[in-house]
Amino acid sequence: MPTHDAGGEGQARGGLGTVRNAVQLLELLSDGPAYQHLTDLAERSQFSVPTVHRLLRSLVLADLVVQDPRSSRYGLGPELTRLSNHYLSRLPLLGALAPYLTQVRDQVGATVRVQTLVRCEVVDIDRVDGQDRGPYRDTHRVHHALDSAGGRVLGARGDADQWTRLLESAPEELAEIARGQQQAWATADHLAVTPEDPMLPAEVAVPVVDGQGTTVAALAATVDDTTDEPHVATVAAHLGRAARAAGRTLGHA
């Protein structure tokens, strides 16, 4: 947990310090209950209560945070959704993959996801649902990178600092596995993973590599059984063709 002395908090009242502190509060609001008490946020951030209150008031005015009128607790606000949609609409990656997602979904008969790595979590930035989705749609999945096929593809192919952060934030057992497998994960043309979390589906993922050789995303599909190697290979082949075609498009962007 970060610590902040009185001088550091005083210096954070303007400029980049204020932005940094506001971002930390948004991060805390994203982790835990949907609505949280002011005093809990102050304790977790180790900012003073007046500082947290002042920052939250500014974030509420910007609709980045909302305050529940009944409980006076705070939660993330709707403006984040608008900004996220504008961000995604400008990603060349999604435009490059869009022509292939439905086709791949039909070929593999399963849900197909475009995944990116944000800090230590895998985020689905696009998806096409297959018949495997079950009675409920998990439309907003965010989970630790090393607990998914796409996250392992992206993490192992990322830079050293990112890999270190992933190891430090993962459960020790998972981190130990990752330390021994980084090179294999970084060079594999696909990975298949059955997550420890039973709420997450088994997946096969391949890298999406742009024209400069940078892995910019993972393309993943749900599978019933990762031990069914012929089926996994077939799914990976369909994903790989789409990923390479999108990568060529990105290379000309």
Question: In 3D, which of 102, 101, 197, 104 has the Cα closest to residue 146?
Answer: 197
Q: pLDDT of 136-153, one tens digit each? A: 445 556 678 999 999 999
pLDDT at residue 133, as a whole number: 56
Encode pLDDT of 33-92 as tens digits. 999 999 999 999 999 999 999 999 999 999 999 999 999 999 999 999 999 889 888 889
Amino acid letter for position 99? P
Contact between 66 and 77 under an 8 Å Cβ cutoff? The reply is: yes
Identify the H or E element spanning 217.
strand 215-222
Given a cut of 60, is residue 252 above it in pLDDT? no
- Whether residue 135 is predicted with pLDDT greater than 50 in this model: the reply is no
User: Residue 6's pLDDT band (boundaries 50, 70, 90)?
Assistant: very low
Average pLDDT value for the chain: 88
| Own/partner pairs, 25-34, CB within 8 angstroms, 24+ separation | 25/52, 25/55, 25/56, 25/59, 25/65, 26/59, 26/64, 26/65, 26/76, 26/80, 29/65, 29/74, 29/75, 29/76, 30/76, 34/75, 34/76
Which pLDDT score is estimated for 132? 61
Residue 196: per-residue pLDDT? 75
Average pLDDT over residues 202-223: 94
Alpha-carbon distance of 253 to 251, in angstroms, equals 6
Angle between helices 149-157 and 160-169 (to 10 degrees): 140
In sequence order, the 6+-apart residues with CB closer than 8 A to the CB of 202 are 192, 193, 194, 195, 222, 223, 224, 225, 226
Mean pLDDT, residues 97-106 taken together: 95
- 155-173 tens-digit pLDDT: 999 999 999 999 999 999 9
DSSP string of 158-199?
Answer: S-HHHHHHHHHHS-HHHHHHHHHHHHHHHH-S-EEE--SSTT
Exposed e or buried b per residue across 155-188, where buried means at least 16 C-beta atoms within 10 angstroms of its C-beta: bbbbeeebbebbbeebeeebeeebeeebeebbeb
Say whether pLDDT at 207 is over 70: yes
Question: Picking from 13-27, 81-95, 202-216, which range would have the lowest pLDDT averaged per residue?
Answer: 13-27
Q: What's the confidence (pLDDT) of residue 15?
A: 62
Contacts of 147 (CB under 8 A, 6+ apart): 170, 174, 193, 195, 196, 197, 200
The angle that helices 15-30 and 49-61 make with each other, rounded to 10 degrees, is 80
Give the residue-averaged pLDDT of 25-38.
93
Give the mean pLDDT of 184-204.
89
What's at 197, amino acid-wise? D
Taking a C-beta distance cutoff of 8 angstroms, is the pair 52, 38 a contact?
Answer: yes
Per-residue pLDDT at 22: 95
